[in-house]
Structure 1
Amino acid sequence: MRIIQNDFDKKIAEELLPLRNYALSLTHDLDDTKDLVQDTILKAYRYKSKFQEGTNLRGWLYTILKNSFINNYRRDMKRNTFLDSTVNSYFIDLPSHKIDNDAETKFIRKDLEDAIDQLSLDLKLTFKLNTEGYKYHEIAEEMQIPIGTVKTRIFVARRILRERLKEYAEVYGLQMA
């Protein structure tokens, strides 16, 4: 049984906000986010016949979006252009060591963003989904990878970030896990 056009339209519309949020977490730019979501929706309609009713529409759309982002990223890298990563989406929460200096806070955030941006694309995508609150099994489903791979990528990303940012632990007297 094929999914009825109006039902498909309605289900797509319900996924627009989560798609935008996911796209923004990848692109860090509103214009690029709009383009990526539009491209995803166009591809969803173009390949609607490949979608199996009763399966996870959000997962299917996220996969289209992620693959489009990766393809765009690779194309941009070939042109020697870089993605804008100016979004302040990662904050350091130091419960007993609040930083009163705004300039210092900006440097820490910038260093954290830079450290995250230096991760390989697979590690970065998995790590970002995890920091957005997705559970391991949800990340595995969205990225269409085994849950063990998700756990490994998050472990490796954390280890790399811990190493790159260890000077902050020393400065602020934090224990390294």
Structure 2
Amino acid sequence: MEAVNKTFNFENLIGPYHEKLRAYAMNFTHDEDNAADLVQDTLLKAYRYYDKFMPETNFRAWLFTIMKNTFINDYRRKARVQRVVTVEEDLSSQQLMFSCSTNNGELKFINGDIAKALKTLPENLYDPFMRYFEGYKY
């Protein structure tokens, strides 16, 4: 019975403010759909914490404060996510290559394949190749 009473009281209180909340949300979002979402989030939070509202205070100010704080928190969360994505997009493939850890297991297989290929070289090509590879000029 108390939950029904809470819902009835809450609905009666928000009635006159619903359109004003929508207009206030439009000031923040500049988009009908986002404004409707913001109003919905605001009303859900207000209903959830309705028992914390003190009747002798200003209900309108309480609602509008919830909306403002909800918008600010969502904005900060989205900005943080966007900043992370932007930083990753700005990294070049060269930077990503150096920032990745090396796969030593794969490197071991590659070195083994190179050693096998070098063993197939004739002696007259093996020595010059190895000297060049080790940094000798002649």
- TM superposition score normalised by structure 1: 0.42
1:47 to 42, 46, 49: 49
Aligned to 2:9: 7
Aligned to 1:23: 25
Q: Deviations over 1:88-146 (max 9, x none)?
A: xxxxxxxxxxxxxxxxxxxxxxxxxxxxxxxxxxxxxxxxxxxxxxxxxxxxxxxxxxx
Aligned partners of 2:42, 2:26: CA distance in 1, in Å?
13
For residue 79 of structure 1, give the secondary structure of its aligned residue in structure 2: helix
Tell me if structure 1 keeps the 8 A contact 2:10–2:47: no
Larger radius of gyration: 2
Aligned partners of 1:52, 1:71: CA distance in 2, in Å?
24
Q: What are the ranges of 5 or more consecutive residues in structure 1 without an aligned counterpart?
A: 82-177
* Structure with greater proportional helix content: 2
2:64 to 62, 70, 73: 62
Aligned to 1:108: none
Q: Deviations over 1:137-168 (max 9, x none)?
A: xxxxxxxxxxxxxxxxxxxxxxxxxxxxxxxx
1:34 to 30, 33, 36: 36
For residue 68 of structure 2, give the secondary structure of its aligned residue in structure 1: helix
Poorly superposed stretches of 4+, deviation over 6 Å: none
Aligned partners of 1:10, 1:18: CA distance in 2, in Å?
15
Amino acid at match of 1:37: V
Aligned partners of 2:33, 2:52: CA distance in 1, in Å?
29
Aligned partners of 1:9, 1:63: CA distance in 2, in Å?
18
Aligned length: 79
Query: Relative CO higher for 1 or 2, CA cutoff 8 Å, sep ≥ 6?
Result: 1
User: Superposed, which structure 2 residues align to 1:98-117 within 5 Å?
Assistant: none
RMSD (Å) for aligned C-alpha atoms: 1.7
Aligned partners of 1:38, 1:13: CA distance in 2, in Å?
14
Task: Give the Å deviation of 1:8.
Answer: 2.2
Amino acid at match of 1:56: N
- TM superposition score normalised by structure 2: 0.54
Task: Give the Å deviation of 1:76.
Answer: 1.0
Q: What are the ranges of 5 or more consecutive residues in structure 2 without an aligned counterpart?
A: 84-138
